[in-house]
Structure 1
């Protein structure tokens, strides 16, 4: 690719764009402000007698996502989206304006000090957003259910006390019937009755929407683009269609990770370390990465300490799968079981065991996706 004559950055805002361009030779700085659309920005660039093919722009990853990147690419302008957490920061610099921000970003970009993020294709992005929206609905249901239980207890409607079972499970069919019965026994003009019935109805409606999402996710998992990858991950114990598709879309093109350690770093499962002067200090995980990816693999390792046996349900999921995928999944299952037992015997905390197993499991996921790619 031909080297750009100008490197620049865009400070994105709802009302305006601040653009800084620096010439490669001589480092001449140009700055201008325009309305927040690509057409106005291109017009300003052309007024300065600069060809679009001679510039390379960047901007911080923001709420705009990749729409600006795709629009600029469609106009023939080279562009990259920069990871905000990896932008160098000077501790002594206490002045912040849009103009100074875009100039600083342009200077860093010219010197190669910025780290671009991976741009997923539009299909991966839409599927990923679909799964994230489903998670949002699931979280809402959890909050509503917790609120209903708290409200009932405050008003003297204690399900466990009335049943005489201290550990009776909530949100079973029996619990739903009990709750509806208690609501119907309240006076019709009671604010509590209106409150509980509205919350319960909202909960049912959201659960219906979640079922619709699940059906759509099952259909998407059968698309040629995802079918082999989902099938490969479904061979693992702890992973089903939803979690497999989540891992596939959140990781994107697995070939961009040359080594499994890059995947663990991307998910925030790498261990923090501060070693200096002959001393080695290691702490917890960094948590600087994709939180959704990290959550999925940790949840998949909840029962990693169990004996490495293939259940009937797992056998069904493995029907028609490539033997290579099954071999990788079995190696993962045996390794996690041994690791869990060893750490448990060393009196490690249960959560530490799960996180350590999740880090190992992600490496096997990397291997399986490479085979399926």
Structure 2
């Protein structure tokens, strides 16, 4: 089977099930047939010899079709998973929560690693025909790494911006009211003059030159005079320590901005080669841009056909409401938050943007608010509507039509 194939259910009839329990340095394997009889059990190192030892065991099993399952780990499962897929085996990555719930339902409790492999094999036997078999291509995996690196950069930049504003509020509080602090020219200015006192002693010509023409044009000299005047009358506090920290934070932010620009360009370029039509479909919804569309498609696996219906995407993101039961009453509470937090985050961001810029979704959001839903619940309801529409568009290969979705 080629990497990237995704099918609801399994290919044909599976005759043998192999559970693999993985740790950093080794893995344990347990295989059973449809009759639950043990086929083999062994442990091996997480290296080439160990992988080939597993393949040798699988080759001698006289069955026509096998299914291999392993729990999702932070990263330990990736190499063995990729190896088995490249060898043509059907492999599923299982959410550890599913295994945990399965164990709780069993009368016999298991503890050791080898028994964990047994449990995974038994779980496959019991649930194999209902599992979604999903094998990501190496490209989708790489795109996901780039996307999450980009997300991490944004988080770091946000933290730095908060700290820069906090420090400027001490060293030069008037600056924030005069201009946007986070333009490149102002950041470089703060990097050189991290306080009102430092700026007050600046040379007017040098300061004017720092305010690059594409930011302020012919007004840059007048703005430089205004800055120096504000610095002379500032109530900012002199602090050598805070100035050093502020300069370092600005330096880091400028570096991260360059890294973000680079990784965003690479991410969009690679994604368009893989899924340009899907990106164009999603960006036909006003409020969804290239970056949001790319991140959404990557986090949901690169192909909407992985999912039988839109609710599967909502559940994968953990945006489905949790069900609670009390006595004879059953109801729905907060969202589960058990799914892909990266997907959940991008769906939330997409939703807030379409509420802001798209009349259809804005109207739906306001309707839910007038019906009494609090802000977050109204956004969540709108997110469900957005995913239903996006799913329909992607599966039908159509762009957004306001008349059909009003």
Give the whole-Å Cα distance in 2 for the aligned partners of 1:348 and 1:300.
20
Asked if 1:138 is matched to 2:154, the reply is: yes
- The Cα shift of 1:116 comes to 5.2
- The Cα shift of 1:363 comes to 0.8
Asked if 1:185 is matched to 2:201, the reply is: no
2:84 touches 2:91 (CA, 8 Å); kept in 1? yes
Partner of 1:60: 71
Give the whole-Å Cα distance in 2 for the aligned partners of 1:83 and 1:93.
21
Closer/same/farther in 2, CA of residues 303 and 211 from structure 1, 3 Å limit: closer
2:94 to 78, 82, 88: 82
Give the whole-Å Cα distance in 1 for the aligned partners of 2:132 and 2:157.
36
1:6 touches 1:21 (CA, 8 Å); kept in 2? yes
Give the whole-Å Cα distance in 1 for the aligned partners of 2:308 and 2:365.
27
> So what's the TM-score if we normalise by structure 1?
0.78
Closer/same/farther in 2, CA of residues 207 and 304 from structure 1, 3 Å limit: closer
- The Cα shift of 1:206 comes to 0.9
Spell out, residue by residue over 1:46-99, the C-alpha distance to the aligned partner (whole angstroms, 9 max, x if none).
479933866532211121354322312333444322222222132887763212
Partner of 1:273: 323
Asked if 1:288 is matched to 2:313, the reply is: no
Closer/same/farther in 2, CA of residues 347 and 53 from structure 1, 3 Å limit: same
Relative contact order (C-alpha < 8 Å, sep 6+): which is higher? 2
Spell out, residue by residue over 1:204-257, the C-alpha distance to the aligned partner (whole angstroms, 9 max, x if none).
11101111122223423442x322111111111221000111122222221222
Spell out, residue by residue over 1:271-326, the C-alpha distance to the aligned partner (whole angstroms, 9 max, x if none).
22235765342212222222222222222232555685xxxxxxxxxxxxxxxxxx
Asked if 1:357 is matched to 2:382, the reply is: yes
- The Cα shift of 1:105 comes to 1.6
Give the whole-Å Cα distance in 1 for the aligned partners of 2:395 and 2:59.
46
Give unpaired runs (5+ residues) of structure 1: 309-332
SS at match of 1:352: helix
SS at match of 1:235: coil
Closer/same/farther in 2, CA of residues 78 and 230 from structure 1, 3 Å limit: closer
Asked if 1:203 is matched to 2:253, the reply is: yes
Give the whole-Å Cα distance in 2 for the aligned partners of 1:164 and 1:32.
64
Give the whole-Å Cα distance in 2 for the aligned partners of 1:99 and 1:151.
55
Partner of 1:246: 295
Give the whole-Å Cα distance in 1 for the aligned partners of 2:36 and 2:352.
58
Partner of 2:395: 370
Aligned Cα root-mean-square deviation (Å): 3.4
- The Cα shift of 1:347 comes to 3.9
Spell out, residue by residue over 1:171-225, the C-alpha distance to the aligned partner (whole angstroms, 9 max, x if none).
24685335642358299x95544433222111111101111122223423442x3
> So what's the TM-score if we normalise by structure 2?
0.72
Partner of 1:37: 47
2:137 to 107, 112, 121: 121
Give the whole-Å Cα distance in 2 for the aligned partners of 1:100 and 1:341.
53
The alignment covers a number of residue pairs equal to: 341
Larger Rg: 2
- The Cα shift of 1:103 comes to 1.7
Partner of 1:106: 121
Give the whole-Å Cα distance in 2 for the aligned partners of 1:52 and 1:138.
52
Spell out, residue by residue over 1:125-144, the C-alpha distance to the aligned partner (whole angstroms, 9 max, x if none).
21222121111111111122
1:221 touches 1:241 (CA, 8 Å); kept in 2? no
Give the whole-Å Cα distance in 1 for the aligned partners of 2:58 and 2:307.
40
1:9 touches 1:58 (CA, 8 Å); kept in 2? yes
SS at match of 1:268: coil
1:53 touches 1:78 (CA, 8 Å); kept in 2? no
Closer/same/farther in 2, CA of residues 32 and 4 from structure 1, 3 Å limit: same
